[in-house]
Amino acid sequence: MAPGSAPKRIPTTAAAPAPAAQSAGASGATEVKPDSAKMQVSALRSGTVIDHLGPATSFKALKILGVGADATVLIGVNLDSSKLGKKDILKIEGRELTDAEMNKVALLSPQATFSLIRDFKVVRKFQPTLPDQVDGLIRCMNPACITQDPRVTGRFHVVTKSPLKLRCHFCERSLRENEIEFA
Ligand SMILES: [Zn+2]
């Protein structure tokens, strides 16, 4: 008899506090929080969206763009992409990248696409094209290269675009995509 009455009491006591806790949660935080969180993820008021970044390149892109710790940025890493298999996405609030900045990101991730957003609307789409020659921007790794002198501006020739391969104009040292260091 004792084992029979014990299970009876447990559901009764458990049932009483459960609805109370649920209703307290619903009337408390749940109504406001999901909406504001959703807004931030889906929409950008103004700024730049960089899509089709190579997988796991978004942090490098932020670094070469000089996006600081105080910036509002949404980062998606290794997302599924029908085009690329995997990709990264960056949404940078309150900053419209210049053509030069977008071309810089293209050197890191040639297939990247850019959308400039104002008041939640796309005002410009940009697909950068890799130039045949890159002045400045990239540092030569060769310690004996004349461009180690800060008065000499680096220059690289684009040998192949996919995969990206560059060659230093001065010392002929070749750089592959993953070896590029931005000045
Ligand atoms: Zn060099």
- CA 172–ligand 1 middle distance (angstroms): 6
Q: What is the pLDDT of residues 76-121, one digit of tens each?
A: 999 999 888 999 999 999 999 998 889 889 888 888 999 999 999 9
The two three-digit tokens of residue 3, written as one number: 């084992």
- CA 147–ligand 1 middle distance (angstroms): 6
Note the pLDDT of residue 104: 85
pLDDT for 22 beyond 60: no
- CA 49–ligand 1 middle distance (angstroms): 33
Top-confidence residue, 78 or 162: 78
Top-confidence residue, 7 or 176: 176
How far is it, in rounded angstroms, from Cα 176 to Cα 25?
54
- CA 136–ligand 1 middle distance (angstroms): 12
CATH topology of domain 133-182: SH3 type barrels. (2.30.30)
Indicate the angle between helix axes 2-15 and 17-27, nearest 10 degrees: 20
- CA 138–ligand 1 middle distance (angstroms): 10
pTM flag (> 0.85) = no
- CA 91–ligand 1 middle distance (angstroms): 34
How far is it, in rounded angstroms, from Cα 92 to Cα 107?
19
> Where are the domains positioned within the chain?
46-126, 133-182
- CA 152–ligand 1 middle distance (angstroms): 11
Residue with structure tokens 């990709």? 87
The two three-digit tokens of residue 93, written as one number: 């609030």
The two three-digit tokens of residue 112, written as one number: 């990247």
CATH number of 46-126: 3.30.70.140
The two three-digit tokens of residue 68, written as one number: 């600081």
How far is it, in rounded angstroms, from Cα 140 to Cα 58?
23
Handedness of CA 59, 60, 61, 62 (dihedral sign): positive
Residues whose CB is under 5 A from ligand 1 (ion)?
140, 142, 145, 168, 170-171, 173
Q: What is the pLDDT of residues 28-60, one digit of tens each?
A: 455 555 444 443 445 789 999 999 999 989 998
pLDDT for 9 beyond 50: yes
- CA 183–ligand 1 middle distance (angstroms): 13
Phi, psi of 63 (to 5 degrees): -65, -45
The two three-digit tokens of residue 161, written as one number: 């675009």
How far is it, in rounded angstroms, from Cα 5 to Cα 119?
64
Calculate mean pLDDT across residues 158-178. 92
- CA 176–ligand 1 middle distance (angstroms): 13
